[in-house]
Amino acid sequence: MIVAEKKPFDEISGMLAGFDKVLTVGCKTCVAVCLAGGEKEAVLLNKELMLARKVAGKPIETGAALVERQCDMEFLAELDDIVGQYDAIVSMACGAGVQFMAERYPEKPVFPGVNTTFIGVNRDVGWYEEKCRSCGNCLLGVTGGICPITMCAKSLMNGPCGGTNQTSCEINKDQPCAWYAIYKRLAGQNRLDNILKITEIMDWRNNVPRTIVQPGYEQRKAAFSEK
Amino acid sequence: MAEFKSNSNLEKVLKAGHFAFTGELGPPRGSSVAHVREKAKPLKGNVDLVNITDNQTAMVRMSSWAASIIAKEEGLEPNYQMVCRDRNRLAMQGDILGAYAMGINNILCLSGDHMQFGDHPGAKGVFDVDSTQLIKMVKTMRDEGTFQGGADIEEPPKMFIGGAANPFAEPFEWRVHRLAKKIAAGVDFIQTQCIFNMEKFRNWVAMANDMGLTDKVYILAGVTPMKSVGMAKYMKNRVPGMDVPDEIIKRLQGVDKKMVSDEGIKIACEQIEEFKEMKGIAGVHLMAIEWEHKVPEIAERAKMLPRPVF
């Protein structure tokens, strides 16, 4: 899932300085699971905003809404009837959701309520770890299901650097060395041959904004674009 | 007559069968030419090649290629260090052409210390290519005369290509395979991490010998003389990938305080004597960290003088 963390309150409050009626929209998917941008967090943010502005003598009116997925226009459309009542929107979704919201309501200032942090896993409640940089050229089949681009601090592709600290990364004793883990897993599976060959220089595919049209959907896209 | 891949002095020394002796010079955190010239003086005539470090420990310093040119003017043979942290493949290849155009004939291909160690921890780490891929890229430029992207190079840069090896870091049994990959990528010489754990190093070299790797690459054993007990402890506990056995610290602690640095040099000389006899070792890389002025004394005491002249 996409993992995010709440922006510092002062930053959000600063962005909203000139606005008196604000709609805060939570997202029910990834950011709700990681406890950063769901309904609970949207309501809480509104309470904080109202209190801070009241104390400052500049009261603010807030509304809260929740959308199934802000990365989907169909769900954003549910907000069409209420958006007009507000001066600005805070989207608690990931960066994709914020941008889609801003695209849906181009006249309305839209502000991010969270910092989108990574694609990761739910290790336990409240505890998330980055696992994927969406490089677009997955090496996991070679590296025993451990991503060297993400999990190695230097994104090395041909084995551990000389800074390996026992079994940890040189940046931090608590961060396991990705290549140590890759080596151990492949050794256990008798697949070390995988990493004895040189992994060739990477064809990075995340240098431009990417669009994917799945096979069979080209005509649908063409028809949509014409509209 | 041996066929040379480059115009490197180190290549000539090694191919003539001499036991090589290389040193290191860290560029200043400023643009003082005098600083580089001063540090170069004690190295001249005492080593075959001098590594010019590249933003080492992720701290900004005078660029390696510029300091290499100054070192060359001072009569040294520079080894242009290049880390993967700070440049993408376009900048790397451009800098390699520029360095070669200015008379630099050696390059050392490294990953580089992580940004987090230095004084710009928020810098974006590039790591477009890794050190093994960089070796292959430089070799392709030299031997195929083409850029990584495939286009022909007008006057390809004839670099003598170096790489690093850490014989101590985990997983130990993998380290020799990593060396094999660098050889397959086209490395000509290897400079190892500072060696303090001799037993582990002997094991690593034996494995490299058994795999036939030492016939395919020149390995220069990394030696760093300890200046003080504090330095030894710091290297043991704080420097990533360093293996400093307690015996070394005890030996330094066992001598009169005034004699600790002398003892450090003595240990280094004993190591060098062993490396001279060790099968698979073609020379020594002396990393006298911020101790360049001691290099003449160390070279003398290690019986590495005079250096061959071509």
Q: How far apart are CA B187 and CA B206, in angstroms?
A: 20
**pLDDT, block means (10 residues), chain A with 227 residues:** 98 98 98 97 98 98 98 98 98 98 98 98 96 94 97 96 89 94 98 96 92 96 90
Name the residue of chain B whose CA is nearest to A169's CA.
B240
- Determine whether the interchain pair A154/B169 forms a contact, defined as Cβ–Cβ distance below 8 Å: no
Residue B156: how many CB atoms within 10 A of its CB? Answer: 18
Q: What pLDDT, on the 0 to 100 scale, is given for residue A225?
A: 87
Quote the minimal CA–CA distance from A121 to chain B in Å: 24
Place of tokens 């891929």: B133
pLDDT tens readout for residues B28-52: 999 999 999 999 999 999 999 999 9
Assign residue B194 a region (left: φ > 0; alpha: ψ between -120 and 50; beta: otherwise).
beta
Percentage of chain A lying above the pLDDT 70 cut: 100
- Determine whether the interchain pair B178/A159 forms a contact, defined as Cβ–Cβ distance below 8 Å: yes
Q: How far apart are CA B49 and CA B159, in angstroms?
A: 13
pLDDT tens readout for residues A92-102: 999 999 999 99
Q: Is B206 exposed, middle or buried (0-12, 13-18, 19+ CB in 10 A)?
A: middle
- Determine whether the interchain pair A162/B164 forms a contact, defined as Cβ–Cβ distance below 8 Å: yes
CATH architecture observed for domain A2-118: 3-Layer(aba) Sandwich (3.40)
**CA-based Rg of chain A, rounded to a whole angstrom?**
22
Token reading at A97 = 């959701």
Q: What pLDDT, on the 0 to 100 scale, is given for residue B2?
A: 60
Structural domains of chain B, ranges and CATH numbers in brackets: 9-224+263-301 (3.20.20.220)
Token reading at A50 = 């109202």
Place of tokens 């930053």: A11
CA dihedral angle for residue A66, residue A71, residue A75, residue A79, rounded to 10 degrees? 60
**Which of the residues in chain B have pLDDT under 70?**
1-2
Q: What pLDDT, on the 0 to 100 scale, is given for residue A17?
A: 97
Give the contacts of B180 (CB within 8 A, at least 6 positions apart).
A196, B211, B213
Mutate to test the interface with B, among A133, A152, A155, A161 (most CBs of B within 10 A): A161
Q: How far apart are CA B52 and CA B104, in angstroms?
A: 11
List beta partners, residue A88: A22
Q: How far apart are CA B78 and CA A106, in angstroms?
A: 58
Q: How far apart are CA B111 and CA B203, in angstroms?
A: 25
CB B130 within 8 A of CB A157: yes
Quote the minimal CA–CA distance from A62 to chain B in Å: 36
Q: How far apart are CA B288 and CA B166, in angstroms?
A: 18
What is the residue extent of each domain of chain A? 2-118, 137-227
Token reading at B63 = 């660029």
Q: What pLDDT, on the 0 to 100 scale, is given for residue B1?
A: 47
